[in-house]
């Protein structure tokens, strides 16, 4: 399929480009063993991330005014620390631990695939992460974005329509010239309904060994692939 009409690829980040769960587990065991002894890091990562959807929904439904993800992550961290019985962590340590979201590593194919895609397309995250999180994460993980698109710019979280349409408008492109890339069908379905092109990247290990997502049908989206390298190959870059 010729994809010369697509000018920009905008990518979900947490889970699609970076391995948040594995990164938190690794950092927890390596850096936090002394200050947070006895923590079950896979359970901690899952509990922290499990508060993500509900926290964003408080903003999306108007229960909270616009609140960026650094602040939501911190609120979610406080609840998670309480859940795990942690008390006495210093403010500096909490800030540092909360910044683990800036220190996530890419899946092995992410940076190599993105470098190839960048040769022909504008590549950007379109994430619920803040601009600061995404910018620092890109430098940490070597992600070669052309620019940073964050839903923060629109004061709406995905899957609100303002985020997908705002991204296209900011790039001065019609929605049909923008392709949403994500490992999550809800994200892609919202983008597709607004006229964006879509690519699904299968990430079976995102939520750990016991929560493998169901792979959608091959014709559910414009592309259904297993990696950014495969997406680059399918797009001929």
Q: Which residues bind a copy of itself (CB under 8 A)?
A: 70, 122, 130-132, 134-136, 138-139, 145-148, 152-153, 170-173
Give Cβ neighbours of residue 148 (< 8 Å, ≥ 6 apart): 124, 125, 131, 134, 135, 138
Least gap, CB of 105 to a copy of itself (angstroms)? 18
The residue (of 23 and 98) whose beta carbon lies closer to a copy of itself is 98
Least gap, CB of 145 to a copy of itself (angstroms)? 7
The residue (of 36 and 132) whose beta carbon lies closer to a copy of itself is 132
The residue (of 45 and 150) whose beta carbon lies closer to a copy of itself is 150
The residue (of 44 and 145) whose beta carbon lies closer to a copy of itself is 145
The residue (of 129 and 159) whose beta carbon lies closer to a copy of itself is 129
Least gap, CB of 171 to a copy of itself (angstroms)? 6
Least gap, CB of 87 to a copy of itself (angstroms)? 27
Question: What secondary structure, in 3-state letters, does the chain show?
Answer: CCCCCCCEEEECCECCCECHHHHHHHHHHHHCCCCCCCCCHHHHHHHHHHCHHHHHHHHHCCCCCCCCHHHHHHHHHHHHHHHCCCCCCCHHHHHHHHHHHHCCCECCCHHHHHHHHHCCCEEEEEECCCHHHHHHHHHHHCCCCCCCEEHHHHCCCCCCHHHHHHHHHHCCCCHHHEEEEECCHHHHHHHHHCCCEEEEECCCCCCCCCCCCCCCCCCCCCEEECCHHHHHHHCCC
Least gap, CB of 50 to a copy of itself (angstroms)? 25
The residue (of 95 and 193) whose beta carbon lies closer to a copy of itself is 95
Least gap, CB of 198 to a copy of itself (angstroms)? 21
Please, are residues 162 and 156 in contact by the beta-carbon 8 Å criterion?
Answer: yes
């Amino acid at each position: 399929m010729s994809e010369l009409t697509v000018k920009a690829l905008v990518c979900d980040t947490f889970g699609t480009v970076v391995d948040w769960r594995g990164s938190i587990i690794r950092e927890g065991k390596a850096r936090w063993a002394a200050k947070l002894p006895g923590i079950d890091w896979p359970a901690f990562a899952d509990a922290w991330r499990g508060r993500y959807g509900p926290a964003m929904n408080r903003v999306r439904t108007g229960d909270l005014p616009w609140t960026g993800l650094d602040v939501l992550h911190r609120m979610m961290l406080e609840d998670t620390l309480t859940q795990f019985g942690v008390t006495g962590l210093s403010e500096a340590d909490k800030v540092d631990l909360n910044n683990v979201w800036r220190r996530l590593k890419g899946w092995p194919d992410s940076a190599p695939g993105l470098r190839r895609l960048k040769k022909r397309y504008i590549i950007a995250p379109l994430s619920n992460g803040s601009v600061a999180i995404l910018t620092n994460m890109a430098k940490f993980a070597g992600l070669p974005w052309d620019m940073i698109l964050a839903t923060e710019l629109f004061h709406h979280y995905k899957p609100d329509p303002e985020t997908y349409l705002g991204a296209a408008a900011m790039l001065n492109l019609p929605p049909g010239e923008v392709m949403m890339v994500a490992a999550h069908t809800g994200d892609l379905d919202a983008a597709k309904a607004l006229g964006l092109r879509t690519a699904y990247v299968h990430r079976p290990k995102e939520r750990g060994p016991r929560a493998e997502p169901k792979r959608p049908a091959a014709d559910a989206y414009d592309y259904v692939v297993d990696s950014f390298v495969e997406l680059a190959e399918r797009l001929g870059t």
